[in-house]
Structure 1
Amino acid sequence: MVNFGKKLMADQIPEWKGYYINYKLMKKKVKQYGQQVQQGEKDRRRVLKDFSKMLDDQIEKIVLFLLEQQGALASRIEKLGKERAILAEQPDISAIAELREAYREVGLDLIKLLKFVDLNATGIRKILKKFDKRFGYRFTDYYVTSRSNHPYSQLQQVFKHVGVGAVVGALSRNLADLQERQGSYLSIYDQPSTALKDPIIDMINSSVDKLTRSTNFLRFLGQHALIVGEESPSTAEEDEIEDKKYHFISLMLNLVNTFLYMVNTYIIVPTADDYSVSLGAASTVCGVVIGSMAVAQIFSSVYFSAWSNKSYFKPLIFSSIVLFLGNVCYAMAYDMKSLTVLIIGRLLCGMGSARAVNRRYISDCVPARIRMQASAGFVSASALGMACGPALAGLLQWKFKIYMVTFNQSTLPGWVMAVAWLLYLVWLWISFKEPNRATEVNGTQQNPASVQRADIEQLENGLAQPLLRDSGKQDEDDDEEVDDSEEGAHDSRKPATSIGSAYRLLTPSVKVQLLIYFMLKYAMEILLSESSVITNHYFNWNTSAVAIFLAILGLTVLPVNAVVGTYISNMFEDSFKITSTYSVVQYVISALVTFVSAEVLEGVNLSLLSSVMSSRLSRGTYNGGLLSTEAGTLARVVADCTITAAGYLGIGKLLNVTLLPSLVICAASIASTFLTYNSLF
């Protein structure tokens, strides 16, 4: 595996050599600046000014050449357009074929230009990160903001590839017009769905997609799932390998597993307090009943994540069986008059949490071209399950006995979910297809696709390296190789092998994002888990009313994410309404504001977390998805324990006692965000 400096030299187009970023020179300058600052020869302000000017000159060189090449391509397309107009009046099959080949040559040259932009954009990102690591200052934040927002921005030309879209459109339209269209006189603008599928255009679109950083709803939901996938250009060989691993029904089974688990989590919330009381416990023990599932999930997430290194089918089978048994125990606890059996049932349900497997399957076995849709499906399935759980509980209001088994609003959720998991187990056994792992070693794919992904990972800086390094032992030529090797060699590509090694990869900004995730999950769990107790104490709501209220809260998830992902992904607001008496309106409005605000923050938080987390946390057992799951699950455990502990002080004090920790954690999260704001990139 070569470092970026060597890759840049190897991938350069010889005749364009003088127009690429001088990465070697920039690296040497960063090293010199570091030594000069340490020795007191230059102050930091002077270094920032000199480095900014040098980088401006490099970008200007790149942009002027880029504009020149775009103009040359446009001139060639214009010239070919005149030839096409002549052929339209005097058709000649051989001349049309030659003209199409000429357009394809323009397309190939455009692909070369896109690769030129890609290499330079990568070089700019890397040298900025290298500068930040060396000096411990988020110069990147200042530089990108000041240059991108300027009316004469040259940086926009590099990162937004301005003008390329027009060239792609012209090529597509002209090639389509030359394509035999069976007598149709409509252009590609009249029939976008029948756009030309020329291989050249596909290659161009693939290159453009790699450069494009869109924030539409689908991408936002995918990031919300924190299913980390390395970006890499798609090749025919890679697509073929991924297609062999992909199985649509298996993907659907993973999404159904996600949906059923979320239903299983929230279906007991409206009735957990009544169930606890019927077994002789206090109503606030519902916190332990609900939270015991999350306690078990803390441990199950680790072994399921490790198990998914070897198989997906077996952990899903195990998950279904354990969840079936857990729900049977939960339902049987009523007739056995045993709170212990009730909690054991919920613990078993938590031990069957296969969300780590579901995430891993999407990350590893779904082709890159549809991975974002699958990730969005994961979030949607979770949101739908969250809404359907309480709604289903509201419908299960019957009471009857069959032999010695009681069926009522407390036990029916357990029986219904047991049947659901049994049916799912049968479907899973019949339809799931285990992906081919013949080309995988130690959980890491060795096919060309993963090799290429690893090559791109090599280009990324490690996020937890020292700010200033002693590199006096290497000369300048060695520095070209060694400096990059520490960010691209074997260690930087090796996944974390323990919780400790994963923790050491967490930068302060990542830790703050995980704290924020903990805070919002804590607040949401407090709100949801104590809702039945609070609403019964203050408003005398029955189970159906609580179920409807929770279902409405759950149904806000997707619309909120749609708004955030499309329009206001950087906005978060919260408010409190204080009145002299505690009313239904006050509770409902406050709950909606808290829940919706937490959902807004969760989406933005996980999107940011996926971008600042080390690429080493995208693979292996101890990956980013596992860490976020553990943080969220731990928050739920703490929240549910808080509810139970607060119950000993009396239900009248429950609301204030449980919300006070939320306020403290929220304040700590805000303070931490301010302290690490400049490191969020």
Structure 2
Amino acid sequence: MVAFGKKLKELQIQEWQGYYINYKLMKKKVKQYVRQIEVSPQDRDFVLMDFSRILDKQIEKIVLFLLEQQGQLASRLAYLGEQHNGLIQQSDVMKIPELQESYRNVGQDMLRLLFFLELNAIGLRKILKKFDKRFGYKFTNYYVKTRANHPYSQLRQVFKHVGISAVVGTLSRNLADLHDHQETFISIYDQPAVPLQDPIIESVKAAVDRLTNSTDFLQYLGKHALILQEELPTPSEEHAVDDRYHFMSLLLNLANTFLYMVNSYIIVPTADSYSLSLGAAATVCGVVIGSMAIAQVFSSVYFSAWSNKSYMKPLVFSSVVLLVGNTLYALAYDLNSIYVLLIGRLFCGLGSARAVNRRYISDCVPLKMRMKASAGFVTASALGMACGPALSCLLQSNFKIFMITFNEDTLPGWVMALAWLIYLLWLWISFKEPSQDKEVNIGQQKTNSGVNVGVVQNDVIQPLLASVKEKQEEEDDDENEDEEIDISRENSMEIQEPVTSIVTAYKLLTPSVKVQLLIYFMLKYAMEVLLAESSVVTAHYFIWSTSNVAIFLAFLGLTVLPVNILVGSYLSNMFEERQVLLASEVMVCMGIALSFQLIIPYSVPQYVCSALITFVSAEVLEGNFWLLSFSKYKSELS
């Protein structure tokens, strides 16, 4: 591996070399600024102004060249369009393949232009990050916000790429039109079947998707679910993922997520009455509910390791364990044993396969579908959270079959046991185990300039931009790059050494990561207290029935999705993650404080408001916590 500056130079198209961002110059400027500030701190404003001016000039150079190349592509498309119209009017079918090839050549040149733009966008982001890191100043936020919202901003051209979208649309429409006419005049027996969507269009669209730098709802949900896509995946990796993808298997993973969340929350409204019926205190329901979460800590470890070798086996094991756990939970009533009840819930926690569900989406779903699948994961979790208590509300029966009791306490266990049995059969019949072999032999092709910009797949050049590790991108600050690479290799070897104990793992955590983990523990603690004690508190103060508690908890669960939409679509674009994080922490504290009975009599509106504020704020806090933690983790590595 080489430093980012060298890697950037290697990937550049030679005849366009003068139009790329001058990363080496910008890096030297940052070093000069650091020395200048150390000598004269009052020059800080000058440094910010001068660096902004240099960046503006670099971006202007990129954008003007981009517009020039887009104009050339547009002229070629206009010329081909005239040939296209004449060919269609004359019904000259023999020239259709030649015209299709001409359109594909335009698409290949468009790919080169996208590679050019992508490298510049990455170089710009890296130099901004380097500046922030060396100065301890959030210059990036100021620069991007001021340039992105200005009507004459050239930075917008780098990220919006409207002209590129227009070219893609013209290519796609004309190639589809030629395909239709070719199928009309040529027998299907004379022409091999070809896909309606030309491969070159798929390649260009994939490159555009990677280039798009937006924070829309799907990306927010994907990061919320901790399913994060690589910044620049290589085509060999993406081709391997396409081969491993199976829609029904993805659906089974999402169904597993949904059922597990239903399983977690279906017992919440009745856990206190179940504990009382077994001779325990009503407050033991907190232990009953929390035991599942405790066991989940251990299950996430072995399921994560197991998914390195298989996806189906851990899902089958999970279903069997959950089937047993729910059966034990239901039988505890007739056995009159609180211990059987707790063991059943522990089994349910040990059957948590959410780590496998996330891993499948991350490893086996194609990049173009990954954010949608990630959003589906979060949606399935939210729906399960809402459906669990709602389903419990419907299970208000009391009868016996062969001396086995079915009532509002045991029915949640029996219903979930049946659900996992049906799921297990569906899994056994429909799941397709993806191949674990990710190596794909793909030939490489060089452009006329001798620069490797793609790989040949189905006679079309595919993107070839290998992702560059953040650590080695930042370490090129050292004067001696050869020495720096040796150091980075040594550090990489140290990082790759396995952790042998929890104590060792704890020592590897930085203070900031420890604080973030403490915050996460506290927010989950607040959530579990709120949910676990909801039935006890409402029965004691308001004499709520099981149905009332179930409806209230279902309402809380239904707030998850709209809150994520609000944060992902609006708040995350208006404020920094840290600002949203701090506001969420304050709101959680307010919700907890509001839950205490102080002077006035404790009322239903007070309890509902406090629970709603705590629950919603904790959900927002959790989502932004993972966004912030991931970005902090990457910066710690670098």
User: TM-score, normalising length from structure 1?
Assistant: 0.76
Distance 1:94 1:253, change over 3 A: closer
| Counterpart in the other structure of 1:336 | 335
Paired with 2:86 and 2:553, the residues of 1 have a C-alpha distance of 68
Greater Cα offset, 107-116 or 76-85: 76-85
Contact map agreement 2:267 2:392 (CA 8 A) in 1: yes
Greater Cα offset, 495-504 or 150-159: 495-504
2:529 alignment partner, one of 526, 529, 554: 526
For residues 45-84 of structure 1, the C-alpha deviation after alignment (integer angstroms, 9 at most, x for no partner) is 4443443333232222212211222222223333433444
What fraction of aligned residue pairs are identical, expressed as a percent?
Answer: 65
| Counterpart in the other structure of 1:647 | none
Paired with 1:482 and 1:43, the residues of 2 have a C-alpha distance of 32
| Counterpart in the other structure of 1:582 | 602
Write the mapping of 1:442-591 to structure 2, written as runs, cut at 5 A.
Answer: 456-461=466-471, 471=478, 476=479, 478-479=480-481, 491=492, 497-498=498-499, 517-569=520-572, 580-591=600-611
Contact map agreement 2:254 2:357 (CA 8 A) in 1: yes
SS in 1 for 2:251: helix
Paired with 2:96 and 2:306, the residues of 1 have a C-alpha distance of 57
| Counterpart in the other structure of 1:289 | 288
The answer as to 2:123 corresponding to 1:123 is yes
| Counterpart in the other structure of 1:19 | 19
SS in 2 for 1:406: strand
Write the mapping of 1:251-650 to structure 2, written as runs, cut at 5 A.
Answer: 251-439=250-438, 456-461=466-471, 471=478, 476=479, 478-479=480-481, 491=492, 497-498=498-499, 517-569=520-572, 580-614=600-634
| Counterpart in the other structure of 1:71 | 71
CA RMSD after TM alignment: 3.9
**1:122 CA displacement:** 0.9
Structure 2 unpaired stretches of 5+: 185-194, 445-454, 456-461, 575-579
For residues 601-652 of structure 1, the C-alpha deviation after alignment (integer angstroms, 9 at most, x for no partner) is 44444445455542999xxxxxxxxxxxxxxxxxxxxxxxxxxxxxxxxxxx
Paired with 2:229 and 2:72, the residues of 1 have a C-alpha distance of 36
- What is the letter of the counterpart of residue 356 of structure 1? A
Paired with 1:13 and 1:524, the residues of 2 have a C-alpha distance of 53
Paired with 2:442 and 2:68, the residues of 1 have a C-alpha distance of 38
Paired with 2:381 and 2:390, the residues of 1 have a C-alpha distance of 14
**1:271 CA displacement:** 0.8
Distance 1:17 1:504, change over 3 A: farther
**1:289 CA displacement:** 1.4
| Counterpart in the other structure of 1:656 | none
Distance 1:68 1:128, change over 3 A: same
Paired with 2:409 and 2:89, the residues of 1 have a C-alpha distance of 80
SS in 1 for 2:218: helix
Paired with 1:7 and 1:258, the residues of 2 have a C-alpha distance of 41
The answer as to 2:24 corresponding to 1:4 is no
Task: Name the count of aligned residue pairs.
Answer: 593
**1:98 CA displacement:** 4.3
Contact map agreement 1:270 1:547 (CA 8 A) in 2: yes
SS in 2 for 1:271: helix
Distance 1:591 1:280, change over 3 A: same
- What is the letter of the counterpart of residue 116 of structure 1? F
User: TM-score, normalising length from structure 2?
Assistant: 0.81
Contact map agreement 1:3 1:488 (CA 8 A) in 2: no
Contact map agreement 1:396 1:408 (CA 8 A) in 2: yes
Paired with 2:149 and 2:329, the residues of 1 have a C-alpha distance of 58
Contact map agreement 2:210 2:231 (CA 8 A) in 1: yes
Paired with 1:22 and 1:337, the residues of 2 have a C-alpha distance of 75
Distance 1:141 1:616, change over 3 A: closer
Contact map agreement 1:238 1:448 (CA 8 A) in 2: no
Paired with 1:131 and 1:589, the residues of 2 have a C-alpha distance of 44
Distance 1:409 1:176, change over 3 A: closer
**1:227 CA displacement:** 0.9
**1:511 CA displacement:** 6.2
| Counterpart in the other structure of 1:232 | 232
Distance 1:356 1:454, change over 3 A: farther
Paired with 2:121 and 2:552, the residues of 1 have a C-alpha distance of 49
**1:483 CA displacement:** 5.1
